[in-house]
A and B are shown apart, each in its own frame.
Chain A
Amino acid sequence: MRRVALSVALALAACTNGDARVGASNDLLIVGYDREPDTMNRYATHILEDIESCVVEGLVTNDDKMNVIPVLATEVPTVENGGVRMRADGGMDVTWKLRPGVKWHDGRPHTSADVKFTVDAINKGDWKPESTDGFDRIASVDTPDSLTAIVHYREVYAPYRLQFFRGTLPKHLLEGRDIDRANDYNRNPLGTGPYRVAEWKTGEYVLLEKVRDYWRGPEFPKINRILFRFVTNTTTRINQLKAGEVQMVALVPWDKVRELKPVPSLRLNQVLGSGYEHVTLNERHFPPFADVRVRRALAHAIDRDLVVGTILDSLVTTVNGPIQPLSWAYEPRVASYAHDPSKARSLLDDAGWKAGANGIRMKDGKPLSFTLITQAGFAIRENVAQAIQKQLRDVGVDAKVQLIDGTSISTVWFSGNFDAMLHWWQSGADPEVTLFFAGDRTPPAGRNINYFSDTALTKLLYASDRTVDQAKRKQLLSEAQVRIAELVPELVLYNTSKIDAVPATLQGFTGNPTNAGPFWNVHEWRFP
């Protein structure tokens, strides 16, 4: 009996598998998404906002070149265009001009009152927004007319452009309510974007449908419906992509690219990321790292090109500093440490680390031996750690690799309880790196987990934070990047490219290096 059932099922399966592959079209695009959102409220969610950003737009966003571009604002306020004014008391005023004719999906107009409401709601602090950065520096907001909002900052705040990256909360809907419990908004947010939530089937999918009168015009968006299927298991998600059960997957893990390259219906879109991988060198926990010669030696010992060419299948690019090539503040003319084992050895000799009996260098009876931790569960990172271990061994440095699970590792590095860590920082679009390299920004005040302090660098970084003059800021940041590369507080490895798999016929898709995500221009996507 069972045998009969089995053969029938197999026969049916053969048919079913073929039917599962449905081509993507302007009617429906199926996205395999790696997790279910906790909430659609952009200010409260603690995961990426891809789905939300299709519904709720910001005053600005980041394009694929990491430029800040206006969306619901008409222009990005700057000192030059008069949108930013310094006050005598040391504060600054930023004037946001809103785009006329933009309506919430319920027909009410989007006005400056919504901007003011958003600031007040976040600063009131009686709900749980994920991050309130910058809002606490706002003293008040004036709304002289329905399309103008003047934001009064108590002090100069350099990343002001991205203050309303997440958009606004609708005052007429949320005023006076407990926002955490406003499930109508958190499940089906009121926005101004090209899509609205048609259905959210918990545990399975969110279905977005196009909005009739989107402010950009009737020809946008082109795609009628987007379905986000939640598939947490990466292998399953990629398998479904290959089988055509989902048509698009954002942020494909690098080790899956090989499998997807030969699939004719897919295109792999690669952009430089706004993050980078590096080896953190914790000077406080492992004092030998405090010697710059040791740090430079380690940098020379690692063959980044080999690692990138083999383990990473050339999917990423080596970089030499924390600010990435796409940023407007990027400085390419910095010191670069080529793979040079003999230079590494001579530097270590100079620093007093002589070759020991078993090949490990010793100084004052202590071996140059430390633990290199990294997050478990990322096959490529585990492999990179082991490759680095071998390359360091070749110059007499003993690095023991230890994998730590994703949840514990944050506590470990936040408490500074490690020697070295293979890690990555995902930066926002603003090139502020003060919290990573200023001498007084070790945890909990910041993320300087190298416990590195250089007076000149710290001064440069803080000065760059306190100016909104882009040219001046760039100059200060350039000097900072030069200094960082010279002093090698950490071993910078490569930029973390973002690779998205999209249908080969999809037009208008560009990908996005920042947290704006690949859906930043979803209204422009179309199939021929």
Chain B
Amino acid sequence: MISSRRAPRAGAVVLVLLVVLAILAPLVAPYGMDALDLAHRRAAPSWSHWFGTDELGRDVLTRILFGARISLAIGLVSAAVSVTIGVSVGAVAGYAGGWIDDALMRVADAMLSVPRLPLLMISAAVLSPNVPLLILLVGAAGWMETARVVRAEVQSIKARDFVTAAKAIGATSTHVIARHILPVVVTTGAVATTLAVGRGILLESALSFFGVGVQPPTASWGNMLYQAQTTMSTEPWLGIFPGAFIFVTVLCCNIVGDSLAERASHL
């Protein structure tokens, strides 16, 4: 519970800033995306290279900015996928009830029983996904939590008197859904999306860290860590900075999402 407004506001600002930087990466980055400089490899952070250079002499800051495009895109779109599936499944299950609800929840339970990261790692290893397919995989692995929450909410609304009353005077199901259920679901969806972005970024970075996510030479924050892990003792900046960006981004998502949830629960 973050009762103060400062933290979530700061978090939101940071997120927006990151997204803007990512979009503007080609303009803002100090060097070209593929600019190799074999003569200045593994340089420590300096004025010409704020975050140093990597094994091929590429500027780390530049790679982080271009990597932001990939990592943030994966986070955002996979979150949209997760939440769309989750809201749909949860709403249908909660509203329909009966065997449909049972079946859908069994599927959710099955997917929740399998440890998520190992399952994703195997899937990614087997399918060798490009970025769009990776987004789908990560998205398809994260709908269950949202579905459960939405289902519970829809059930509680459905049971409320005013819905029964509305139906008694002849309102169609569609009308009930649109007027009463959807607004609440949208709020839940917003919270879920924010949190799902953070989760998606963490999942992609874990997959890339183990070499089954975004493949080099395309940069993502996760695969920059994959390339850095063997040189942590000699060139620690290669691992510290990408990881810090992952951390800060996910932290902001969680802070913002948390405060949204707080405010939603007071509605």
| Chain A contacts to B: CB under 8 angstroms | 234-235, 255-256, 258-259, 306-307, 310-311, 376-377, 379, 382-383, 385-387, 389-390, 393, 401-405, 408
**Contacting residues, chain A, for B34 (C-beta < 8 A):** 386, 389-390, 393
Contact pattern, B 1-43, Cβ under 8 Å of A = 1, otherwise 0? 0000000000000000000000000000000001010110100
Which residue on chain A has the smallest CB distance to residue B227?
A379
What residues of chain A lie closer than 8 Å to B230, measured between beta carbons?
Answer: 234-235, 255-256, 379
In the bound complex, CA of A402 to CA of B34 (Å): 15
- The CA of A403 and the CA of B128, in the complex, are separated in Å by 10
Q: Specify which chain B residues have a CB less than 8 angstroms from the CB of A402 in the assembled complex.
A: 215
Chain A contacts of B211 at CB under 8 A?
Answer: 376-377, 405
Residue contact A306 to B38, C-beta cutoff 8 Å: yes
Known contacts A310-B39, A311-B38; decide if A382 and B216 are in contact (CB<8 Å): yes
CB distance from A338 to the nearest CB of B (A): 18
Chain B residues near A405 (CB-CB < 8 A):
125, 128, 211-212
Looking at A256, A390, A393, the one whose CB has the most chain B CB atoms below 10 A away is A390
Confirm or deny: B258 has a beta carbon within 8 angstroms of a beta carbon on chain A.
no
Distance to closest chain A CB from B60 (angstroms): 15
Given A310-B39, A310-B41, is A379 in contact with B55 using a C-beta cutoff of 8 Å?
Answer: yes
Question: For residue A256, which residues in chain B have a CB less than 8 angstroms away from its CB?
Answer: 230
Q: How far is the CA of A351 from the CA of B216 in the complex (A)?
A: 32
| Chain A residues, CB < 8 A from B227 | 379, 382
Shortest Cβ distance from A390 into B: residue:
B36
Chain A residues lying within 8 Å of B215, measured Cβ to Cβ, are: 376, 402-403
Whether the Cβ atoms of A235 and B229 lie closer than 8 Å is yes
24 contacts between A and B (CB under 8 A): A255-B230, A256-B230, A258-B234, A259-B234, A307-B38, A310-B38, A310-B41, A311-B41, A311-B56, A379-B55, A382-B227, A383-B55, A385-B217, A386-B34, A386-B217, A387-B38, A389-B217, A393-B34, A401-B216, A401-B217, A402-B215, A403-B215, A405-B211, A408-B128
B48 interfacial by beta-carbon distance below 8 Å:
no
Q: Give the distance in Å from the alpha carbon of A311 to the alpha carbon of B41 in the complex.
A: 8
Using a CB–CB cutoff of 8 Å, the interface residues on chain B facing chain A are 34, 36, 38-39, 41, 55-56, 125, 128, 211-212, 215-217, 227, 229-231, 233-234
Contact A386 B56, CB 8 Å, known A310-B39, A310-B41, A403-B215: yes
Which residue on chain A has the smallest CB distance to residue B40?
A310
Roughly how many angstroms separate A405 CA and B216 CA in the complex, as a whole number?
12
Of B38, B55, B216, B233, the residue contacting A259 (CB under 8 A) is B233
**Most chain A CB inside 10 Å of its own CB: which residue of B125, B215, B227:** B215
Instruction: List the count of A-B residue pairs having beta carbons below 8 Å apart.
Output: 54
Task: Compute how far the CA of A402 lies from the CA of B215 in the bound complex, rounded to whole angstroms.
Answer: 7
CA distance A235 to B215 in the complex (A): 21
Contacts of A403 in B (CB 8 A): 215-216
Closest to B232 in A: A235
Instruction: With A382-B227, A385-B217, A408-B128 given, name 12 new contacts (CB 8 A).
Output: A255-B230, A259-B234, A377-B211, A386-B34, A386-B36, A386-B56, A389-B34, A390-B34, A401-B216, A401-B217, A403-B215, A405-B128
Give chain B residues whose Cβ lies under 8 Å from the Cβ of A386. Answer: 34, 36, 56, 216-217
Measured between C-beta atoms, what is the minimum distance from B165 to chain A in Å?
A: 58
Please name the residue on chain B nearest to A239 by beta carbon: B233
A residues within 8 A CB of B55? Answer: 311, 379, 383
Residue among B128, B217, B227 with most chain A CB within 10 A: B217
Interchain nearest-CB distance for B174 vs A (Å): 49
Q: Which residue of A lies closest to B125 (CB)?
A: A405
**Centre residue among B39, B41, B55, B233 by max chain A CB count within 10 A:** B55
How far, in angstroms, from A235 to B233 measured CA to CA in the complex? Answer: 11
Which A residues are in CB contact (< 8 Å) with B216? Answer: 382, 386, 401, 403
Distance (whole angstroms) from the CB of B70 to the closest CB of chain A? 15
Expressed in whole angstroms, the Cα–Cα distance for A379 and B55 within the complex equals 9
Task: Tell me the bound Cα distance from A403 to B212 in angstroms.
Answer: 10
Distance, CA A259 to CA B231, complexed state (A): 9
Partner of B56, one of A234, A235, A376, A387: A387
Q: How far is the CA of A402 from the CA of B38 in the complex (A)?
A: 20
Q: Are B229 and A387 neighbours in the complex by a CB distance under 8 Å?
A: no
Q: How far is A377 from B211 in the complex, measured between Cα atoms in Å?
A: 7
Are the C-beta atoms of B36 and A387 separated by less than 8 Å? yes
Most buried by A among B36, B41, B128: B36
B92, chain A: closest CB distance, angstroms? 39
Query: Which B residues lie within 8 Å of A393 (CB)?
Result: 34
In the assembled complex, the CB of A295 is this many whole angstroms from the nearest CB of chain B, namely 24
CA distance A310 to B39 in the complex (A): 7
Q: Look across to chain A and name the residue whose beta carbon is closest to the beta carbon of B41.
A: A310
Bound form: Cα–Cα A385–B36 in Å: 12
Determine the residue in chain A with the shortest Cβ distance to B126. Answer: A408
Query: A residues within 8 A CB of B128?
Result: 404-405, 408
With both beta carbons as reference points, the residue of chain B lying nearest to A404 in the complex is identified as: B128
A487 to B217, CA, bound (A): 31
In the complex, how many angstroms separate the beta carbon of B54 from the nearest chain A beta carbon? 9
A402 to B128, CA, bound (A): 11
- Tell me how far the C-beta of A305 lies from the nearest C-beta in chain B, rounded to whole angstroms: 11
Docked Cα-Cα span, A379 to B211, in Å, equals: 11
Taken together as a complex, chains A and B put the C-alpha atoms of A310 and B56 apart, in Å, by 9
A243 CB to nearest B CB, Å: 12
Chain B, residue nearest A235 (CB): B230
CA distance A383 to B217 in the complex (A): 9
Shortest CB-to-CB span from B89 to chain A, Å, is 33
Q: Which residues of B contact A387 (CB under 8 A)?
A: 36, 38, 56
Bound Cα distance from A240 to B38, whole angstroms: 30
CB-CB under 8 A from B233, the residues of chain A are 259
Query: Which residue of chain A lies nearest to B36 when distances are taken between CB atoms in the complex?
Result: A390
Rounded to whole angstroms, the CA-CA distance of A56 and B225 in the bound complex is 43
Query: For A401, what are the chain B residues with a Cβ–Cβ distance below 8 Å?
Result: 216-217
| A396–chain B nearest beta-carbon distance, Å | 15
Chain A residues, CB < 8 A from B217: 382, 385-386, 389, 401
Specify which chain B residues have a CB less than 8 angstroms from the CB of A235 in the assembled complex: 229-230
Chain B nearest Cβ from A381, distance in angstroms: 11
Q: Which chain A positions have C-beta within 8 A of B212?
A: 405
Whole-angstrom distance from the CB of A195 to the nearest CB of chain B?
33
With most chain A CB atoms within 10 A of its CB, the pick from B41, B211, B227, B230 is B230
- Looking at the assembled complex, report how far the CB atom of B41 sits from the nearest CB atom of chain A, in whole angstroms: 6
Complex CA gap A306/B217 in Å reads 20
Minimum distance in angstroms from B99 CB to a CB of chain A: 42
Q: How far apart are B239's CB and chain A's nearest CB, in angstroms?
A: 12
Residue in chain B with minimal CB distance to A306: B38
CB nearest neighbor in A for B54: A383
B253 to chain A, nearest CB (A): 29
Query: Which of chain B's residues have a CB closer than 8 A to the CB of A390?
Result: 34, 36
Interface centre among A256, A403, A408 (most CB of B within 10 A): A403
A61 nearest CB across to chain B (Å): 33
CB distance from B232 to the nearest CB of A (A): 9
CB distance from A360 to the nearest CB of B (A): 14
Residue of B nearest to A307 (CB): B38
Residue of B nearest to A376 (CB): B211
Report the separation of the CA atoms of residues A386 and B128 in the bound assembly, to the nearest whole angstrom.
Answer: 20
